[in-house]
Amino acid sequence: MTAPAKYGDQLIDWLVGAGYTHCFFVAGGNIMHLLDSVRTRMVCVPFVHEVAAAIAVEYFNASRDEGTGRALALVTAGPGITNALTGIAGAWQESRELLVLGGQVKSSDLSRGAVRQRGIQEIDGVELVRSVTKRALRVERPVDRETILEAVLDGRTPRQGPVFLELCLDAQAAPPLPDQGPVALPDADALPQVSSADVEQVAAWLRESERPVILIGGGVSRQAVRALGERTAAAGIPIMTTWNGTDRVPTEHPLYCGRPNTWGQRAPNILIQQADLVVAVGTRLGLQQTGFAWEQFVPVGRVVQVDIDPAELEKGHPRVDLPLCGEADGFLASLYRSELGDPDQWQAWREFIASVRAELPLNDPQNVTGPGYVKPYELAMRMCEVAEPDAIVLPCSSGGAASVSMQAYQLRAEQKLVGDKSLASMGYGLSGAIGVALANPGRQVLLSEGDGGFAQNLQELGTVAATGVNLKIFVMVNNGYASIRMTQRNYFKGAWIGCDAQTGLGLPNWEELARAYEIPYARLDADHGLDAEDVRSLLAADGPALIEVPIDPEQTYYPKISSAVQADGSMKSNPLHRMSPDLPAEVEERVLSHLRAAVPQV
């Protein structure tokens, strides 16, 4: 490695030693020295907009295989930092690693709060991002390697989150510090472990239970679940996943029984509410998971929650009977090594689960699709089937395209799913998919995103074209913001504003857009769908493709949790088991039998 000529070189060398191999950036004057340093030390990928670079880094690191390189984002001062802020906030809420290097004016030009601005493009980036980072540090003059690496590594454990390093221009160009020898990463602090006594308590409750469920969240790693092998099936305990834990347990697993969620699948929502014990591992049990009517989450059973963050265990919702602070992977391994009882004791529960899932299809029969349009649930149910066996699929972050994907994707064993649902920002999908594709160059990546959301970041089609990533983009074209249109219909009697072309929203011609970037294009035919020859050809080919999917602007999206506006203007939501549309009385009697036996008035 070439000896560093300036501090910027030295800092980048430290980051290379810490495992960083890729830099996603938008060039700017206040990062000119860092950019000069990184260009010969990492794989550098220019993005059109800083928010896309930050999002792509989050998804790169979330999807990479263990032992492979990491990515970081490099943005300039002022607007570079403000543009990246949405990506930083998204990674913060998803508890994901994200390192952002930001430029800053010369230290002698800092206003230091005396005036609003002194240096050109100056803004206090550290203060701006402080509430959504684990560490935010300004470097006004060169600081030692340990200070930098301590901050960087803080973003990786115990609960991951963004780290922001802001470097003044004169610090970047300053002479390097005296040689500090080869980079030696400090050992990470040992993660807290759930005690053997607490693991045994959970095992004892499982042995006593009649209707247990293990809920796997995103805090559990893919590797940990794979390492358990056949034990998860042999134990006989039904397994559900959160949305972030979707790819931990494939659909074909014999004990998999769905993804409960406020915008989730009806069958697991009904089933988890009838469990007499829910062991939630690696999930914070937020409102999206429990429903806004969180007081009625698991109304007839105990709840065990295992999370690395004590604040999530103490937040007061939902009711948790046994909160356990500790590392999720270790707990899960210890639990499955425990004596859990005879799997036959839950045979009746497993049969009930199978009957409920058979009676409540993923595509609700009351959904209506107009003639000439693709049926979105049927499309989503087949997406993982037509994808390559080790493909990575990405639902977008919000709207109908997101909820349909998460309700209907049938994930296979070696496929991955990466999303960002906490911030639920439109426009995440394309940037995230680019990051995933760059982290996994040998794998096919499929993205589904609505036209309204896609339009918010479509400039990154330039990055797709420039990199040639193997990314297949399904744009669900329904004339704008379907979920906003539905809200305005349901709550404001169709007082439309800014939701589609008729109310002022400007959207492109998708075929012409693809042609402008020289990206292969096809339009899904409602009759042939994913079996159309041109679509199959694009999926089989290397490189990018844009596939337009005509979706009925009046498409219904059932099931869903309904809310009602109260007289005081507040909103009241149904519990998880009360999704709309209502089930026929005789069906409800069958699928809610355990809940009704305990709470007759439910």
Note the pLDDT tens digit of each residue in 328-373: 999 999 999 999 999 999 999 999 999 999 999 999 999 999 999 9
Tokens representing residue 395 in the block: 């639902």
In the block, which residue shows the tokens 């969180």? 294
CA distance 277 to 259: 17
> What confidence category does residue 26 fall into, taking pLDDT thresholds of 50, 70 and 90?
very high
**Strands, E assignment, 434-550:** 445-450, 471-477, 521-523, 545-550
Note the pLDDT tens digit of each residue in 194-250: 999 999 999 999 999 999 999 999 999 999 999 999 999 999 999 999 999 999 999
Helix (H, G, I), strand (E, B) or coil at 392: strand
Helix (H, G, I), strand (E, B) or coil at 455: helix
Q: CA 114 from chain center: how many Å?
A: 40
Q: Which of 401, 412, 407 is nearest to 444 (CA)?
A: 412
Query: What percentage of the chain exceeds 70 in pLDDT?
Result: 100
Tokens representing residue 405 in the block: 């994907």
Whether 1 shows a pLDDT value over 70: the answer reads no
Q: What is the mean pLDDT of the chain?
A: 94
Note the pLDDT tens digit of each residue in 69-86: 999 999 999 999 999 999
Note the pLDDT tens digit of each residue in 285-318: 999 999 999 999 999 999 999 999 999 999 999 9
pTM: 0.95
Note the pLDDT tens digit of each residue in 97-107: 999 999 999 99
Between 588 and 601, where is the model more confident?
588
Residue 496: per-residue pLDDT:
84
Q: In Å, what is the CA distance from 43 to each residue of 108, 204, 379, 595?
A: 32, 51, 36, 56
> In sequence order, what DSSP letters do the residues of 156-214 get, joined into one string?
TSSS--EEEEEEEHHHHHSPPPSP--S--PPPPPPPP---HHHHHHHHHHHHH-SSEEE
Residue 563: per-residue pLDDT:
82
Task: Name the region of 258 (left: φ>0; alpha: ψ -120 to 50; beta: rest).
Answer: left
Q: CA 191 from chain center: how many Å?
A: 23
Residue 536: per-residue pLDDT:
97
Side-chain-facing half-sphere of 445: CA atoms under 13 Å: 32
Residue 83: per-residue pLDDT:
98
> What confidence category does residue 514 fall into, taking pLDDT thresholds of 50, 70 and 90?
very high
Widest distance between CA atoms in the chain:
78
Bridge partner list, 165: 101, 137
Whether 483 shows a pLDDT value over 90: the answer reads no
Residue 409: per-residue pLDDT:
97
CA distance 32 to 413: 44
Residue 569: per-residue pLDDT:
78
Whether 424 shows a pLDDT value over 90: the answer reads no
CA distance 427 to 189: 36
Bridge partner list, 10: none
Whether 487 shows a pLDDT value over 90: the answer reads no
Residue 468: per-residue pLDDT:
98
Sign of CA dihedral 369, 371, 377, 380: negative
Q: How many CB atoms lie within 10 A of CB 311?
A: 10
